[in-house]
Amino acid sequence: MKHNLNIIKSSDASLSFIKNKTIGIIGYGNQGRAHALNLKDRGLDIIVGLRDDSKTKNNDSLKNIEVLAIREVVLASDIICLLLPDTALPKVYEKNIKNFLKNGQTLVFAHGFNVHYNLISLPEYVDVVMVAPSGGGAVVRESFLKGSGVPSLIAVHQNFSGIAFDIAKAYSRALGCTRVCSFVSTFKEETETDLYGEQAILTGGLPMMIESSLKVLLEEGYSLEVAWFVCYYELTTIVDLFHKNGFEYLYNAISDTAKVGGLKSGNFLIDEAYENKLKQILLNIKSGKFKDDLIDSKLNFDYKSKLSLKDQSRIKDLMKLVFNKKEV
């Protein structure tokens, strides 16, 4: 089989490009903790930079890791991984990172947002790469400890050293991502597709569709337990069917009733008007409108359920009962 140059496995990446280098992890949240611990377990030299007001300074997992002020980490590191929230990074970068960067350092991003939208100013004398794991920090860490990993997207924005791609591949391997695979991308592609995937499916379309389906059944007088079971709980069984084998496998594995009903109603729901809305979501991302909305602190993005407070409370109690693993 011909090797796909856009897919990186562990055999394509050498840790020698980041060994004997000091790697600074800026931020110790969801991703920061996973990156720091995975790299440390690889035997790499790790230091962590935290903001003065950070609430994670006393985290137990930091006991054997040197913690410094962000400026000190920037000055002491060969490779600097920026793992602060997208909205917080520009201010921290301007104050504590930008003016302390040195010739030949490498900046690693886990998301292309701030680089793609030009929210930070990058000097020409550093490498700028991205290693974006396809999962939250807890999943990145847990899969690593099990001897596996999660896929990642890797990209090079600036190649000052001439080996920026090798550094990105090595970093992805150190995280455990190349145990599965890393896909070669760009900052633009990763940013726009990541935002689109979240909004159209993962954190936008799917949760809202589930909640709306629940709401309809409850309004029509069906019991909350059964409505929750068919609209929420059974989701995992369907995802498991197509996740590794595709949609054709799914439709061949379910009953004729489920197949006919699913295809008929699915095509009714996902019509041209729906696809036009998807295109509008992508346009808002590509044009920078969503970026502006995110930065505008006046906008309220708090989650508000479509269900009544009573039903929300009952569902929480039901989930505790169903997912209680203590009973035998």
Q: Which domains does the chain have, with CATH numbers?
A: 7-185 (3.40.50.720), 197-322 (no CATH)
Strand runs (DSSP E) across 51-169, as ranges? 66-69, 79-82, 106-109, 127-133, 152-158
Is residue 314 scored above 50 in pLDDT?
yes
Cα within 13 Å of Cα(225), Cβ side: 5
> What is the rounded average pLDDT for all residues in the chain?
93
Instruction: Please tell me the distance from the alpha carbon of residue 154 to that of residue 128, in angstroms, as a whole number.
Output: 11
Is residue 2 scored above 50 in pLDDT?
yes
Confidence of residue 1 (pLDDT cuts 50, 70, 90): very low
pLDDT at 52: 78
Q: Which amino acid is present at 233?
A: Y
Annotation says 157 is catalytic:
no
10 Å Cβ neighbour count for 264? 9
Longest CA–CA span in the chain (Å) reads 67
Instruction: Please tell me the distance from the alpha carbon of residue 119 to that of residue 70, in angstroms, as a whole number.
Output: 19
* Overall average pLDDT of the 27-48 stretch: 95
Confidence of residue 328 (pLDDT cuts 50, 70, 90): very low
Q: How confident is the model over 235-277, as pLDDT tens digits?
A: 999 999 999 899 999 999 999 999 999 999 999 999 999 999 9
Query: 91 with 114: CB under 8 angstroms?
Result: no
Starting at the earlier edge strand, list the strands of the sheet with 22-26: 7-8, 182-184, 152-158, 127-133, 106-109, 79-82, 22-26, 45-50, 66-69
Main-chain dihedrals φ then ψ at residue 214, nearest 5 degrees: -60, -45
Q: Catalytic pick from 3, 35, 111, 116? A: 111
Query: 181 with 45: CB under 8 angstroms?
Result: no
Is residue 60 scored above 90 in pLDDT?
no
This prediction has a pTM of 0.91
% of the chain exceeding 90 in pLDDT: 88
Query: Which residues is 183 bridged to in the sheet?
Result: 7, 153
Q: How confident is the model over 165-220, as pLDDT tens digits?
A: 999 999 999 999 999 999 999 999 999 999 999 999 999 999 999 999 999 999 99
Residue 100's nearest CA partner among 68, 132, 130 is: 68
pLDDT at 108: 98
Is residue 326 scored above 80 in pLDDT?
no
